[in-house]
Chains A and B, each alone.
Chain A
Amino acid sequence: MIKAILIFNNHGKPRLSKFYEHYTEDTEQQIIRETFHLVSKRDENVCNFLEGGLLIGGSENKLIYRHYATLYFVFCVDSSESELGILDLIQVFVETLDKCFENVCELDLIFHMDKVHNILAEMVMGGMVLETNMSEISTQAEAHSKMEKSEAGIAGAPARAVSAVKNMNLPEMPKNINIGDISIKVPNLSSFK
């Protein structure tokens, strides 16, 4: 299970914090500080895994992090998660952010905190990985921005125009992903109630 997802910049300023287990507010802040402290002093050429600090639960938990330009993305997970799997999950998360924000940067995360949280909610739900498919995540998250635009109404028209122009050059927009007929059959199952 994922216990917490933290994003902070090179100076330790939190940019996003999401806890899937309950900690008091003070502890949460301490965890952020401690994690930053642990992660920031590591070189670039060392591995991306760390055994958790004291606060977040000791040896049961691991910190898995990636460093992108000015930001650290840290996932704190327990032993039931695969290290490399989470490492790639971070990659998926960042790529999705990049897709949704078009060249994501630190400021995007600050000014669109709610949006980032919503994207995250499509990926991880209650500490469990829900979706790892980038286009699926962004489709779900896009539903949000669509609402926002339609809400903007007339004022939003120019924005729609912009996106229309932008889309003009694209050969084909990925529309609703049609999963189609999946031939996964689970034999033996029908015999059970």
Chain B
Amino acid sequence: MRGWHGAAAPPGRDTSVRTLETTMAGKPKLHYFNGRGRMESIRWLLAAAGVEFEEKFIETPEDWDKLRSDGHLMFQQVPMVEIDGMKMVQTRAILNYIATKYNLYGKDIKERALIDMYTEGIADLSEMIIVLPLCPPDQKEAKIALIKERTTDRYLPVFEKVLKSHGQDYLVGNRLSKADIHLVELLYYVEEIDPSLLANFPLLKVISLTAIRREGSHLPPQDLTFGLKPHNCLFSIPFCPPELAARG
């Protein structure tokens, strides 16, 4: 069995060690809207690391006001994750913490620099996709066209080339890292927009199947969607604070 680079317990049917671990430590608690937005990549990373988490959804203006007035949001923003006794904010800070804790961040600072570089590129494209539901209808077509262009001309070729150049299964250091997880997440979004965008990237099609399947082989694919939000969910939330809407 391929080495497990997640938390202490190896994958398998017996998850009692991990459950004990998380029960004692308390599961991470995610504070966000009931939708993808900026929290989704955190959900993916926790899920890929085999970490169960709870969610408290912000559903009304009162929820939002309370969270802020209780002083739980450092910069008055979400995502916020309660984990290990901290109220963590800033998506990247949270992701980097989880990646370090669960050994998904490379073996040294040079590998980490590569992982960060790839992650930032993925985040730039993902950002364009995340804010799409908030885009005014008359601008949407142009935005989608730009996303498609960036996907096939700027971002996917880079990752195809990286995989081709070393012939390994993972982007960095021949083992699973957060970069692979973020990339797989992105590929799912690209596929949702237009599956034909992936046509010219054979190695990326493979990574989306093997990267998560192998390391998390005890989980059938459906388990990965635990806590993961359906497409366009951000649209359907009844309450969207003005700052979030303004970002689109």
A and B associate:
no
Seen from chain B, the residues whose Cβ lies within 8 Å of a Cβ on chain A are none
Seen from chain A, the residues whose Cβ lies within 8 Å of a Cβ on chain B are none
